[in-house]
């Protein structure tokens, strides 16, 4: 086992995108890093990008509680107790709720919400044994506002906000700090895949905002973990949605409804 003074960072969804970028930042600090993701091939590529050092990977689906727990047990046996968990694994399947197969909706809940809970549950024993730790849950800007064609994704990411708040209160006395962040659209491989199936009604609303770089989001995540900040929003707009969204919801919905109605008229004419 590695020396206890070196932090052990476990990152779900660590084979690409935000998770992999966070891993690179922690490796630059000399931390031990375990990446967890479903695809063994992508994990191998991620390890090659991170270079030599105390970095390892475990292939597991976060929605499979038994498989994830086994992966985290192996990780803690290799590098010691989990010091920091970054729960970044997530999927998005855009599509109108009434038209989308039920299994796609269920899968988003299973990965984005239940998968996060599975990861937290799996690291808690080692964190408690070590007398503390830090947990970062990666939600989304879609966890602050309902978006046309994103019912399953919004539901799963909204739920993380309540989960994080309850978890923060429950674990504070144990010396375990809980944080949550709400990234906007971010340049990642998943974002590219998402755009291919994003409904035009959603694109009218979301397409006017330039995606941010994964590096910027990753640095915000690491900074929030360093300081123990509970919530991170990345942009003034997302901060305003979080703080003022319920008051502004009627106006926001009216604007979105009008934009979608205009798009519908254009489509009927064409």
150 is catalytic: no
- Out of 139, 140, 156, 179, which one is annotated catalytic? 139
- Out of 150, 153, 158, 163, which one is annotated catalytic? 153
153 is catalytic: yes
- Out of 157, 158, 163, 179, which one is annotated catalytic? 157
Residue with tokens 């006017």: 208
Please give the positions annotated as active site.
Answer: 139, 153, 157
């Amino acid at each position: 086992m590695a020396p206890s003074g070196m932090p052990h960072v476990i990152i779900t969804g660590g084979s690409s995108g935000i998770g992999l970028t966070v891993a690179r930042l922690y490796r630059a600090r000399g931390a031990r890093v375990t990446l967890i993701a479903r695809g063994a091939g992508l994990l191998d590529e991620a390890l090659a990008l991170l270079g030599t050092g105390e970095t390892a990977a475990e292939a597991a689906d976060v929605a499979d509680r038994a498989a994830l727990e086994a992966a985290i047990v192996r990780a803690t046996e290799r590098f010691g107790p989990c010091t920091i968990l970054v729960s970044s694994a997530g999927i998005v399947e855009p599509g109108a709720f009434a038209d989308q197969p039920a299994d796609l909706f269920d899968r988003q809940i299973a990965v984005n919400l239940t998968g996060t809970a599975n990861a937290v549950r799996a690291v808690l024993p080692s964190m408690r044994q070590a007398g503390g730790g830090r947990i970062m849950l990666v939600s989304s800007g879609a966890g602050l506002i309902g978006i046309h064609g994103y019912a399953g994704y919004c539901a799963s990411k909204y739920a993380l906000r309540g989960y994080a708040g309850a978890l923060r209160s429950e674990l504070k006395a144990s010396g375990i700090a809980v944080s949550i962040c709400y990234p906007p659209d971010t340049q990642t491989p998943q974002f590219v895949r998402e755009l291919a199936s994003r409904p035009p009604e959603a694109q009218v609303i979301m397409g006017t905002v330039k995606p941010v770089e994964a590096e910027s989001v990753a640095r915000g995540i690491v900074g929030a973990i360093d300081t123990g900040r509970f919530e991170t929003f990345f942009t003034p707009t997302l901060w305003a949605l979080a703080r003022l969204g319920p008051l502004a919801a009627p106006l926001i919905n009216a604007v979105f409804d009008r934009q979608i109605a205009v798009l519908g008229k254009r489509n009927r004419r064409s």
